Structure 1
C-alpha cells in the first residue's frame, strides 16, 4: 500500500454540508435537472486529482459537491478577503492563489492539499471552452499526480457551457450531467513524455465521456 493511500481524507465540515444541501444541490438537481453517472468509480479515501472539462463558472461548485467527497479548488486570493464569501469558500476547501503567482507556486499549493488527503480539482484546459470540450490540455494535473502518487479521475461535465457559458449573463435551464470515468494511475515519472501521455489519455477519456449519448435538452 502506498504512503498516499494511508493519508486520512478530511471530512466535510458543517459549512460545506450546508452549502451542499441548501444551495448547490437545489440548483443542480431542481433548476438544471442535474444527475451524475459513475459515482461508484470515485475513490473515497486518500489524495485524488479530479480532472474535468470546463465550460462554465458553475463547474467548480458542481464538481466540488457532486462526487460524494469534497474537492478543493484554487481561488483568487482577493476572494478570501470578502468576509462571508471568504469563510464559505475556505470551508469548502478552496485555497488562495495570489494574482500573478507563478505556476510553480500554484503547483506547490495544490500538492500540499493532496498531501493532506484532499481531492483536488483541475480543469484540463485551464480556462473555459466555448464548446465545453477538452481542446488544449495542459500538463498540470499529470504533474500533480506524478508529484504525489495520487490517481487521476476523469470527469465530464455535460452541458454546463450551454447553461452558463462564456458571454451568457442569464442561465439557460438545460439538463446538466456529470459523467465519471475510471481512475487513471499517476504517471511513473515527472518526465515530459510521461506527463504528455497521461494528459493525452485524460483528454481522450473526458471527450469520450462527453460523446456518450445525447447532451441536448
Structure 2
C-alpha cells in the first residue's frame, strides 16, 4: 500500500517536493504507524513533527488509531499564519525558558525516554566568584546553528532510535541559578537518549555563536571560548 502525503509552504520547500510517498505492506495503516515511519525515514522532518497536524480527506485527524487507506488524501499541516503560537524547537530568547514546553516538543508515542539537560548559571568560574552572567548572541545565526547541530546529532544517531531533539538558549543578564540552556532529546531507550543529549549539548557549545560575560565583585570579564567547530570541518575555524 502506498500513502501519498501532501506538503505545503515551508514543508514543501524543506523536502523539495509537494508529495512524499511511503510504502506499507498492509492494506491499511494507522496515523500512529505513519507518524513512526516519518520519524524513521524523513530525518529532515523530525524537528518539525511535534508542531504538525495531520489531515485526512480535508479533515483534521486527532485520533492516532485512525486507519489510513490507499485512496485517502493525507496532508501535513504546519502552524498556520496568524494562528496561536507554539514554541519552536530551536529558539534564542531573552525570556525565561519553559521546561515543560520543550519536553512536549520532543515526546512521541515511540519514546521510552526523554532526557532534559539544563545549563544553569553558577557562582564561580576558574576560581573567580561570579554574581551573574550576561549572554550575547548572533541570534538569527544562533538559531540556525542550534538546528544544524540538532540535525547533525539526529543523523549521527540515526540507527539508534533517537526520535527528536529540541533546544532553547536564553540570552541577556541571568542571575545565579537561572537556566541559560535547555536541550531535550527523546529516544526509545534511555542510554541513547542520554548519549544523544550529551552530544547535542557539546555540538551546540562548539558551533552556536553565543558569548558569556562574567559579572563579579572585581568587575566584568568575557569568558574565553573555543574556536567554532562547524560540521564537516577538520579543524576549528581559523585554525
The TM-score with structure 2 as length reference comes to 0.27
Q: Which has the higher contact order (CA 8 A, sep 6+)?
A: 1
- Give the structure with higher Rg (CA): 2
Larger helix percent: 1
